[in-house]
């Protein structure tokens, strides 16, 4: 028994190459196996150091203890923003998994990555053919922005959004060829899950879908759009009912990109900052951009494909338009009263549109094999797969931390959600000339050193996690008090003697 996935995109009739003749199951297995290099770091020992740090882990543990509390929101070391924060769905998925919180978070992220590739393949294989759909799926999986989202930012709600996005589009476009009302709730469920992953980006995905249907399927657009509105509207109601929308502390237009950033191979682990010298890599990706340009050339030279093909026109225009919204000239649009503020309210940074941009480029990349069947022969196809994998392989080296577990929760959150204290302890600095110690000053835990004596140097050791970028250098105030709150000693200054100011 065979399974056919219809998407509303009529297939072009080409002579089948040997690779096109391989079974659906073969390509399905390849779609699930080839992402192994992307998800492999999730299985490495230790914790991946991201901008989110341990915040997802703490809140998953808290949710498990409060699963019966209907109004639960992520609140440990963060302020939940219904439009811009990671949605509720990844937290609930992780909380229900029979794994430790840290492992459950990694499992949700890995599943999201696999879902994204599989969804791309199922969505596009009836149009681009199986080889083209597989290339599109791999380009989407190995987008540099996907890697940044997971291994640098730790935005796991956005990662789940990117994983569910192809499925949501597939479900909606399925109603183009199978316009049955009984399928409407199913489409709504996909868009509900998408909205509960990252609500603000779902608003942009809804605009993307609306334009796609208006351009490619104008006469069949009503029912698919109704299903998407049903699901995303339900997600908005469920989320906004629990928490009011808040204003973003980020200067939105200050983070518009320089064109060079979109093509730079730079890779970093810092936070995003205004200007060309951003701490993040915000590139489009070599494979996505290169194969998309190849598609444009093949399309214009093709004798069998209409040069006004609506599908190729839409994804080309979408990629260019989304890029245009992320560069400096777009400040005029973002600053428009009403429309500009409404669109920017769904995002924290303008470069978050790189996810939708990458999806459009991935579709164009796969279309190269639809336009030129020679690319589906084994040597060329294998070379394309290898090129996609190698183009991002160097970026799959996240930073890790080893050592103690800090999974219980922060000991304290200081400032306005600026810094979380993970753990602290005291030690006594003593001379290394003491028997059994190395030469030089040595720190001995206070519990081992015993009672303090006059002239002892008490050292405070703190492990902390920044929750947002600091505008100024960090300064620490420490007061040692007795049982009557009298100050015995104090320190006011930068940690580590100012050697590593923030």
Q: How far apart are CA 381 and CA 366, in angstroms?
A: 11
User: CA 89 to CA 111: how far, in whole Å?
Assistant: 13
pLDDT of residue 471: 59
Q: What is the distance between the alpha carbons of residues 110 and 160, in angstroms, rounded to a whole number?
A: 9
- DSSP character at residue 257: B
Q: Cα separation of 343 and 200, whole Å?
A: 9
* Each residue's pLDDT tens digit, 351-378: 999 999 999 999 999 999 999 999 999 8
Closest to 263 (Cα-Cα) out of 286, 280, 287, 297: 286
How many residues can be counted in the chain? 502
Contact 194, 232 (CB under 8 A): yes
pLDDT at position 12: 42
The CA-based angle 252-256-258, given to 5 degrees, is: 165
Q: What angle do CA 302, 122, 166 make, to 5 degrees?
A: 95
CA distance 403 to 424: 14
Regarding beta strands 400-401 and 47-48, do their DSSP bridges make them parallel or antiparallel, or are they unpaired?
A: antiparallel
15 and 374 in contact (C-beta within 8 Å)? no
CA distance 116 to 31: 10
End-to-end CA distance of the chain: 61
Q: Are 204 and 359 in contact (CB under 8 A)?
A: no
Q: How far is 405 from 383, CA to CA, in rounded Å?
A: 43
CA-CA distance, 77 to 59, in Å (whole number)?
9
Q: What is the pLDDT of residue 344?
A: 94
Task: Judge contact between 188 and 231, C-beta under 8 A.
Answer: yes
- Share of the chain residues as helix, strand and coil, in percent rounded to the nearest 5: 55, 10, 35
Spatial separation of the C-alpha atoms in residues 369 and 131, rounded to whole Å: 7
CB contact at 8 A, 478 and 490: yes
Distance CA 497, CA 443 (A): 16
Three-state SS letters, 302-359:
CCCCCCCCHHHHHHHHHHHHHHHCCEHHHHHHHCCCCHHHHHHCCCCCHHHHHHHHHH
- DSSP per-residue codes, 12-31: P--PPPTGGGS-HHHHHHHH
- 8 Å CB contact between 352 and 201: yes
Task: Quickly count: other Cβ atoms within 10 Å of residue 183's Cβ.
Answer: 16
Q: What pLDDT was estimated at residue 1?
A: 37
User: For 113-164, how does the pLDDT look when each residue is reduced to its tens digit (9 = 90+)?
Assistant: 999 999 999 999 999 999 999 999 999 999 999 999 999 999 999 999 999 9
Per-residue confidence in pLDDT tens, the chain, 502 aa = 334 444 444 444 444 455 766 889 999 999 999 999 999 999 998 889 999 989 999 999 999 999 999 889 999 888 899 999 999 999 999 999 999 999 999 999 999 999 999 999 999 999 999 999 999 999 999 999 999 999 999 999 999 999 999 999 999 999 999 999 999 999 999 999 999 999 999 999 999 999 999 999 999 999 999 999 999 999 999 998 888 777 787 899 999 999 999 999 999 999 898 988 888 999 999 999 999 999 999 999 988 888 889 999 999 999 999 999 999 999 999 999 989 999 999 999 999 999 999 999 999 999 999 999 999 998 999 999 999 999 999 999 999 876 555 666 677 776 666 667 777 777 777 765 554 555 556 667 766 666 767 767 777 777 777 766 665 666 777 777 777 878 877 777 777 666 655 5
- 14, with CB counted inside 10 A (0-12, 13-18, 19+), is middle
Q: Which of 120, 121, 97 is nearest to 109 (CA)?
A: 97
What are the beta bridge partners of residue 465? 420
pLDDT number for residue 13: 43
Reported as a single tens digit per residue, the pLDDT across 254-299 is 999 999 999 999 999 998 989 888 889 999 999 999 999 999 999 9
Q: How far apart are CA 143 and CA 344, in angstroms?
A: 24
Distance CA(41)–CA(36), nearest Å, equals: 9
> What pLDDT score does 288 carry?
98
CB 371 within 8 A of CB 294: no
Is the pTM for the entire model greater than 0.75?
A: yes
Q: What is the DSSP string of 369-437?
A: HHH-GGGGSHHHHHHHHHHHHHHHHTT----EE-SS---S--SEEETTTTEEEEEEEEEEEE-TTSTTS
Q: Which two tokens stand for residue 78?
A: 């963060």
Question: Phi and psi of 59, rounded to 5°?
Answer: -75, -30
Question: Which helix (DSSP H) or strand (DSSP E) does residue 477 occupy?
Answer: strand 476-481
Of 95, 74, 230, 100, the closest CA to residue 155 belongs to: 74
The SS3 call for residue 464 is strand
* pLDDT for residue 305: 85
């Amino acid at each position: 028994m065979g399974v056919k996935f219809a998407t509303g995109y009529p297939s072009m009739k080409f002579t089948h190459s040997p690779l096109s003749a391989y079974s659906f199951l073969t390509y399905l297995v390849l779609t699930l196996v080839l992402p192994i290099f992307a998800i492999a770091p999730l299985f490495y020992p230790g914790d991946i150091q991201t901008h989110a740090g341990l915040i997802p882990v703490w809140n998953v543990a808290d949710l498990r203890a409060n699963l019966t509390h209907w109004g639960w929101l992520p609140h440990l070391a963060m302020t939940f923003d219904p439009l811009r924060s990671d949605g509720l769905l990844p937290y609930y998925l992780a909380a229900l998994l029979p794994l430790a919180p840290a492992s459950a978070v990694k499992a949700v992220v890995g599943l999201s990555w696999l879902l994204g590739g599989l969804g791309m393949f199922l969505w596009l294989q009836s149009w681009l053919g199986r080889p083209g759909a597989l290339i599109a799926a791999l380009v989407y999986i190995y987008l540099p922005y996907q890697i940044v989202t997971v291994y640098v930012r730790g935005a796991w709600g956005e990662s789940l959004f990117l994983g569910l996005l192809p499925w949501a589009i597939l479900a909606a476009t399925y109603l183009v060829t199978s316009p049955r009302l009984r399928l409407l709730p199913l489409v709504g469920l996909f868009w509900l899950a998408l909205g509960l992953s990252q609500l603000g980006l779902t608003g942009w995905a809804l605009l993307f879908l609306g334009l796609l249907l208006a351009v490619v399927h104008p006469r069949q657009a009503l029912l698919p759009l109704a299903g998407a509105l049903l699901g995303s509207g339900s997600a908005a109601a469920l989320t906004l009912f629990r928490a009011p929308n808040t204003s973003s502390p980020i200067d939105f237009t200050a983070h518009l990109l320089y064109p060079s950033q979109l093509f730079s191979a730079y890779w970093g682990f810092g936070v995003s900052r205004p200007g060309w010298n951003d701490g993040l890599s915000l590139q489009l990706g070599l494979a996505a951009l290169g194969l998309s340009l190849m598609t444009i050339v093949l399309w214009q030279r093709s004798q069998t494909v209409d040069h006004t093909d609506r599908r190729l026109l839409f994804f080309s225009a979408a990629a260019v338009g989304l890029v245009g919204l992320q560069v400096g000239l777009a400040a005029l649009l973002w600053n428009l009263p009403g429309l500009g503020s409404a669109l920017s309210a769904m995002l924290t940074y303008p470069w978050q549109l790189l996810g939708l941009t990458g999806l459009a480029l991935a579709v164009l990349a796969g279309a190269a094999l639809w336009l030129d069947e020679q690319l589906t022969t084994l040597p060329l196809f294998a070379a394309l797969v290898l090129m996609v994998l190698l183009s991002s392989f160097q970026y799959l080296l996240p930073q890790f931390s080893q050592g103690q577990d800090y999974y219980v929760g922060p000991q304290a959150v200081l400032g306005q959600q600026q810094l979380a204290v993970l753990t602290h302890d005291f030690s006594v600095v003593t001379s290394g000339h003491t028997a059994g110690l190395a030469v030089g000053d040595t720190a001995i835990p206070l519990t081992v050193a015993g009672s303090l004596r006059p002239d002892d140097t008490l050292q405070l050791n703190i492990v902390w996690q920044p929750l947002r970028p600091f505008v100024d250098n960090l300064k620490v105030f420490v007061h040692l008090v007795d049982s009557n709150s009298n100050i015995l000693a104090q320190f006011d200054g930068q940690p580590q003697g100012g050697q590593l100011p923030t």
